[in-house]
Amino acid sequence: MITLVPAPEPAVSAQRFSIEATRPSAAEVEALAGLLPAGTPVYLTAVPTVDDAELVAAAARLRTAGLEPVAHVAARRIASAPHWQDTIRALRDEADMRRLLAIGGDVDATGPFSDALALIQKGRLREAGIEEIGIGAYPEGHPRIPAGRLAASIDEKIAAARAAGLRVHIVSQFSFAPDVVVAWLTRLRQCGIAVPVKVGMAGPASLTGLMRYAARCGVNASLRGLTSGVAASLLGQATGRVGPDRLLAALSAAPGLGDVAPHYFSFGGVLPTARYACEAAAGRMTGGHAMARSN
C-alpha cells in the first residue's frame, strides 16, 4: 500500500499581505482602493506629529474605501486613561476599528501605560470593540533590549492578549537578511509560538534610502546585506530600486514555518509599495526576479 504524503505548504503566503502607510492623503487612499484587494490590512504608523483627529480621519477613509485600518498605538505616548478611551472610542465609532498594533514607543512613559504589555493588560481593548492585537518582534534583535527580554516579552504579550479575549499576531521589524529571518522564525516555532507572523520587509526603494532606514532602526545584519555585492547589483535594475525579492523567495522555499505573510514597509512610497505587493501576490516578475506564487 502506497501512502501519499501531501507536499508541505510554502511558509509565506504572498496573497495575504499587509502594508504600512504614513499619513496617507485622501488621494492616496482612493488610489490604494483601486490597487489593493478589498479588506487588505493597512497599518497606520505611529507618527508623533499625527494627532487623534488625523488618525481617526485616515482610518475612517480606509474603512470607507473597503480596506482594513489597523492603528499603531505607542503605549508610552498615551497621556491619560480617559484620553485613551476617547481615542479608541472614536476609532471604533468612526472607522469600525477592530485591530491594533501595540508598540511601546521609543520614549519615556508619561502616562498610564509603561509599555505595550501594560496597554494590552489595562487598555480595555476588548471592551472598546477591538478583536485582534498585533505585537512587535525583532528578528535581528533590538539595540536597547536584551535578547532574553525580547523572547519573554512575546510570551507575556500573547498570554495577556488571550486572557483579554483578543486574537493575536506578530508583526516583525523589517529585515534584508533572509537567512536571519528564516532562522528567527524557526526558533519561534520551536519555542511553541504558533500565532500568525507578518514578516516585515521594505517595499521597493532606493538603496541609499533603505540603508538610511536600516541604520536608523538598528538592523545591522540588514546593513551588511545591503552593502554586499548581491544587493548592490540590484541597483542596476531599470527602476533603480531594491525590493524584498530575496526575502520572499527564501520564505517561499522554507516550508514548515506556520502562518507567515509579508508585511510591507512603504519607505519608497505607499503606492509603489502597493503595486509591488500586488505583483508579488500574483506571482509575476517583480524587480527583475521571478516570484514564487503561494496558494
Cα–Cα distance measured from residue 90 to residue 73, given in angstroms and rounded to the nearest whole number: 14
Q: Judge whether residue 144 has pLDDT over 50.
A: yes
Number of domains comprising the chain: 1
DSSP string, 118-177: HHHHHS-TTTTT--EEEEEE-TT-BTTB-HHHHHHHHHHHHHHHHHTT-EEEEEEPP-S-
Residue 112 CA, distance from chain mean position: 25
Measured between alpha carbons, how far is residue 265 from residues 39, 144, 227 in Å?
18, 22, 20
pLDDT digits (tens, 9 = 90+) for 4-63: 444 445 557 889 999 999 999 999 999 999 999 999 999 999 888 899 999 999 999 999
254 found inside a domain: yes
Q: Tell me the CATH number at 165.
A: 3.20.20.220
Could you report how far apart the first and last alpha carbons of the chain are, in Å?
A: 29
20 found inside a domain: yes
Measured between alpha carbons, how far is residue 70 from residues 44, 175, 219 in Å?
6, 21, 24
User: Sorting pLDDT into bands at 50, 70 and 90, what band is 145?
Assistant: confident
128 found inside a domain: yes
294 found inside a domain: no
Q: Judge whether residue 93 has pLDDT over 60.
A: yes
Q: Judge whether residue 263 has pLDDT over 70.
A: yes
pTM as predicted: 0.86
The amino acid at residue 166 is L
pLDDT at 286: 46
202 found inside a domain: yes
List the one residue out of 172, 174, 249 whose CA is nearest residue 212: 174
Query: What DSSP state is assigned to residue 103?
Result: E
275 found inside a domain: yes
Task: State the virtual CA torsion across 155, 158, 161, 165 in degrees, nearest 10.
Answer: -120
Residue 66 CA, distance from chain mean position: 19
pLDDT digits (tens, 9 = 90+) for 51-92: 999 999 999 999 999 999 999 999 999 999 999 999 999 999
295 found inside a domain: no
Mean pLDDT in the chain? Answer: 85
Residue-range definition of the domain harbouring residue 56: 14-281
Residue 63 CA, distance from chain mean position: 18
List the one residue out of 243, 259, 253 whose CA is nearest residue 15: 259
149 found inside a domain: yes
Cα–Cα distance measured from residue 53 to residue 149, given in angstroms and rounded to the nearest whole number: 35
pLDDT digits (tens, 9 = 90+) for 175-231: 888 999 999 999 999 999 999 999 999 888 776 766 776 666 666 656 565 655 444
Locate 260 and state its grid cell: 507567515
Cα–Cα distance measured from residue 202 to residue 198, given in angstroms and rounded to the nearest whole number: 12
User: Sorting pLDDT into bands at 50, 70 and 90, what band is 287?
Assistant: very low
